[in-house]
Amino acid sequence: MSLLDVSRASAYPMSSSTLVDLTESVTMSRKRRRPESKNLEEVSYSTKLKGLLAEACLSDMNNVVIEKNLIAIAKELAILHSLGLQTEAKCFKFISIAFARISVLVVKQATHKELTVSPASLWESAKWQVAETIRNDSNTLDAAAIGECYANAVRDIQLLWKATVLSKEQGAQLWHDNKPDEAIALLKASEVYMRRFNLKCQKLSMDRALIESQLTPSTKRPCSHTKKVSFADVPSVIVLADEADDRSPVVASKPSKLDALLLRSSRVFPAPSL
């Protein structure tokens, strides 16, 4: 099967109804600052939810794609929970919210099928998968174990990048061969692949930043604000002010136009030597 046939089958065409639902549920006003941008943890949650909704719309509400993304999100949260960065209650609450929102969009489809997973099964399966990766000697996740947990996400990103490059090259070749219809189909597929690639990269970058900000020790020295200030026991008198002196504050007054003109005209400017 050629890449053109594969792209037509799995290029994930956009549905207008799902895009409207996505716009209503996710898009906020750009004029004001979004509340989730104030905290890295909230940015991570927002990116996961946006990625889930976008993947669902790009796949035309394909249940397999939706369940795959839900499983990936649950595993990512289980990793953060194992590292002590998130509580179990918060992770399970987010999975329940994401599952509820995506279920509302699935039900609105004409030919929809019920999802075969549930928030409880997603969370329990994710915890079990992460627990299998934890080393028995330290009972913690090291760098190698974390990389192994994110291996599937990295593999998906690599495949999406290869599909993007390949579809662009074949689309350009078909365009030069005067086959615009087939070329446009491939170029649209490459654009969809690139969108999915960017979403997955953003989600992975947010988790990496969250892990590094919490677990990586800072190399900067802590700033010391405890500065010692000492005072003399007896004040020393340098000189006494004369009582006859006028010590009232000086009030600056604006010169009149005539005073300013006289001041400018009285200046002596250097003349060139002849």
Q: Where does residue 124 rank: exposed (0-12), middle (13-18), buried (19+ CB within 10 A)?
A: middle
Average pLDDT taken over every residue of the chain = 76
Residue 261 neighbours by CB distance under 10 Å: 11
Residue 273 lies in a domain: no
- Confirm whether 235 is domain-assigned: no
Question: Alpha-carbon distance 93 to 119, whole Å?
Answer: 9
- Residue 256 forms part of a structural domain: no
Estimate to the nearest angstrom the gap between the alpha carbon of 69 and the chain centroid.
18
Q: Which range among 18-27, 202-211, 217-226, 249-258 has the greatest average pLDDT?
A: 202-211
Model confidence, pTM: 0.61
The SS3 call for residue 205 is helix
CB 193 within 8 A of CB 160: yes
Give just the sign of the alpha carbon dihedral 131, 136, 141, 147: negative
Domain that includes residue 144, residue range: 11-215
User: With 60 as the cut, is the pLDDT of residue 16 above it?
Assistant: no
Range with top average pLDDT, 22-31, 40-49, 222-231: 40-49
* 3 state SS for 50-117: HHHHHHHHHCCCCHHHHHHHHHHHHHHHHHHHHCCCCCHHHHHHHHHHHHHHHHHHHHCCCCCCCCCC
Q: How far apart are the first and last CA of the chain?
A: 94
**Cα Rg of the chain (Å, integer):** 33
Which residue type sits at 205?
A: S
- Band (95; pLDDT cuts 50, 70, 90): very high
Domain assignment present for 106: yes
Average pLDDT over residues 142-147: 73
Residue 12: alpha-carbon gap to chain centroid: 24
pLDDT at 274 over 50: no
CA dihedral 95, 97, 99, 101 (to 10 degrees): -150
The confidence score (pLDDT) of residue 97 equals 92
What is the structure's pLDDT at 15? Answer: 43
Calculate helix-pair angle for 63-82, 151-176, nearest 10 degrees: 140
Instruction: Write down the pLDDT at residue 249.
Output: 66
Distance CA 82, CA 84 (A): 5
Over range 235-264, report the average pLDDT.
74
Lowest mean pLDDT among 1-10, 30-39, 51-60, 114-123: 1-10
Establish if 96 belongs to a structural domain.
yes
Q: Is residue 38 part of a domain?
A: yes
Please check the confidence at residue 223 and state whether its pLDDT lies above 70: no
Q: Averaged over 88-108, what is the pLDDT? A: 90
pLDDT at 228: 73
φ, ψ dihedrals at 104, nearest 5°:
-65, -40
Report pLDDT for 96. 93
Q: Is residue 271's pLDDT more than 60? A: no
Residue 170 forms part of a structural domain: yes
Least confident of 5-14, 59-68, 112-121: 5-14
- Which pLDDT value is given to residue 22? 42
Residue 224 maps to a domain: no
pLDDT band at residue 199 using 50, 70 and 90 as cut-offs: confident
pLDDT-derived band of residue 241, with 50, 70 and 90 as boundaries?
Answer: confident
Would you state the pLDDT for residue 99? 92
- pLDDT: is 38 or 68 the higher one? 68
Structural domain tally of the chain? 1
